[in-house]
Amino acid sequence: MTKQNDLYDLVVVGGGINGAGIARDAAGRGLRVLLCERDDLAAHTSSASTKLIHGGLRYLEYYEFSLVRKALKEREVLLHAAPHIIWPMRFVMPHTRDLRPRWMIRTGLFLYDHLGGRGKLPPSRAVNLGQHPAGSPLRPDFTDAYIYSDCWVQDSRLVVLNALDAAERGAEICPRTACIGATRQGNTWSVKLHDEISGHNRTVVARGLVNATGPWVSCFLESVDGRHGRQTDKQVRLVKGSHLVVPRLFEHDHAYLLQNPDGRVVFAIPYEHDYTLIGTTDEPFVGDPRGIRISDEETAYLCDTVARYFQRRITPADVVWSYSGVRPLYDDHAANASAVTRDYVLDLDAVTGQAPLLSVFGGKITTYRTLAEDALAQLAEPLAIDAPPGRLTPRCPAATSPTPTSRAGSPRSRTTTPSCRPACCGVTPATTARAFRLWWETPAHWQHSAKTSATTSTPPSWIIYFGTSGLAPRTMSSGAVRAWACTSPMPPGRQLMPGSRTARGRLP
């Protein structure tokens, strides 16, 4: 059945961080927005990242000063806006004489400390590993290191919160809804949507269309009619990256940046209290990114990196979980995958009097908010957005307001403070935090979420409750936050479900 006459200012295709960020910004400016995501929110690249809000120390080697500066400035903004899902983290970079020289590392860290106007985070410093706790799990030949600051984020939850905020500002958020075609008809787009659950099709009309399909950006463009025969010369370069989760390799709360002889770096990050997250690889990828998995070669590469630095070796048998994603990098024709720019490029297909199409190439989770602002700035003229100038600047509500469900305090510190343990549960903060990943947001948000989707009904259980909102356990699991695990009582009738299976395997 096809339903006609739904008119929107903007249809955003793709429910990753970039699509959700653009939908949020557009809704914040008063536009009537629909976001469609054929799978689940954050189902792909945006939940497969290393989970860092960072400037990208490594990019300085490729002279990407403006990207690093932009990302470092965003790190401050996001840390301020969402302190409940973004936490400061210190990174230890053991010094290896035969790789990068000291002068290079000191210069890089000096720039990293000062390029982005660091406000809240401590500066970098050199440490003697013999006297610092970070030295104890390392092999004895590593005697000194550099420590610097960055941030860690619950990536998929950042996506969900942006989508929720967009919905609270009036956007219609449609997970499990594929865009199966779009036709330009003068000053509007006719956009065909397919509900993956009910099987129904629906056609909506939009004044503007955003292609935020990440790795599928070029593929989606091929399904669009009416581009005036115009083919963009921009392409994405797909680069696969994989991570391992292994039982905790070290006791302290610092992460490690490990340099490899091939010039690449691998992170070892404290993860969910009992685990260490190790990644990432950087491999050219061809094909459909859906359903990709880590290869034996990637697992071996990451295990070898750990063996190079840590006293304790890990083998594939130690791996409790792994995940892979594909970076949709803007193809700047760099010689190797690691050197391809991590900055984004926006392509606007707009002819006067015709409905605009904006495509997103590349980007990082860290820069999603500026990407959204830039996208709306490009669409302002063709869509005649008349938001007051102040709303197009960082004072835009989508820019600086905390994410809607933000609550004060650092969850990381709370979960490590025994006095903050939830007395009602009598279990450790880590267990409670993991359990609450299956319990998301406040009931008000669920009701709202349900309203934005197909049906609503009295939820007899959490499964049906989540089912009616069109969201899958994967989204649910990304929805909870540690802070709430320590501050919210367990709602009656809800089940704790640690160890539940998600799309990518069993949650640790």
The contact set with ligand FAD (CB under 6 A) reads 13-19, 36-39, 43-46, 48-52, 178-179, 212-216, 220, 241, 280, 325-328, 360, 363-366
Cβ-based neighbours of 413, under 8 Å, separated by 6 or more = none
Tell the smallest beta-carbon distance from residue 436 to ligand FAD (Å): 24
CA gap 117, 96 in Å, rounded = 29
What's the Cα-to-Cα distance from 219 to each of 151, 346, 379, rounded to whole Å?
A: 33, 16, 22
DSSP letter at 215? G
Residue 33: helix, strand or coil by DSSP?
strand
Tell the smallest beta-carbon distance from residue 193 to ligand FAD (Å): 8
Nearest residue (CB) to ligand FAD, 109 versus 326:
326
Nearest residue (CB) to ligand FAD, 45 versus 354:
45
CA gap 484, 422 in Å, rounded = 10
Nearest residue (CB) to ligand FAD, 206 versus 486:
206
Cα 442 from chain centre? 22
- 489 Rama sector, left if φ>0, alpha if ψ -120 to 50, beta otherwise: beta
Contact assessment for residue 89 and residue 134, using Cβ atoms and an 8 Å cutoff:
no
Tell the smallest beta-carbon distance from residue 305 to ligand FAD (Å): 15
CA gap 148, 90 in Å, rounded = 6
Contact assessment for residue 346 and residue 352, using Cβ atoms and an 8 Å cutoff:
no
Tell the smallest beta-carbon distance from residue 425 to ligand FAD (Å): 31
At which residue do the structure tokens 């909506």 appear?
Answer: 204
Tell the smallest beta-carbon distance from residue 108 to ligand FAD (Å): 18
CA gap 387, 380 in Å, rounded = 9
Cα 240 from chain centre? 15
Nearest residue (CB) to ligand FAD, 153 versus 435:
153
CA gap 80, 82 in Å, rounded = 6
In degrees rounded to 5, what are phi and psi of residue 244? -110, 145
Residue 428: helix, strand or coil by DSSP?
coil
Tell the smallest beta-carbon distance from residue 459 to ligand FAD (Å): 26
Tell the smallest beta-carbon distance from residue 199 to ligand FAD (Å): 15
Tell the smallest beta-carbon distance from residue 59 to ligand FAD (Å): 11
**β-strands 6-13, 201-211 pairing:** parallel
Nearest residue (CB) to ligand FAD, 243 versus 391:
243
**CB-count exposure of residue 280 (10 Å: 0-12, 13-18, 19+):** buried
In degrees rounded to 5, what are phi and psi of residue 88? -65, 145
Tell the smallest beta-carbon distance from residue 48 to ligand FAD (Å): 5
Nearest residue (CB) to ligand FAD, 89 versus 435:
89
Tell the smallest beta-carbon distance from residue 49 to ligand FAD (Å): 3
Q: Nearest Cα to 488, choosing from 437, 430, 424?
A: 424
In degrees rounded to 5, what are phi and psi of residue 393? -105, -175
Nearest residue (CB) to ligand FAD, 45 versus 188:
45
Tell the smallest beta-carbon distance from residue 221 to ligand FAD (Å): 11
Residue 238: helix, strand or coil by DSSP?
strand
Nearest residue (CB) to ligand FAD, 338 versus 488:
338
Cβ-based neighbours of 385, under 8 Å, separated by 6 or more = 29, 31, 376, 379
Nearest residue (CB) to ligand FAD, 39 versus 172:
39
CA gap 167, 35 in Å, rounded = 10
Nearest residue (CB) to ligand FAD, 129 versus 345:
345
Nearest residue (CB) to ligand FAD, 215 versus 459:
215
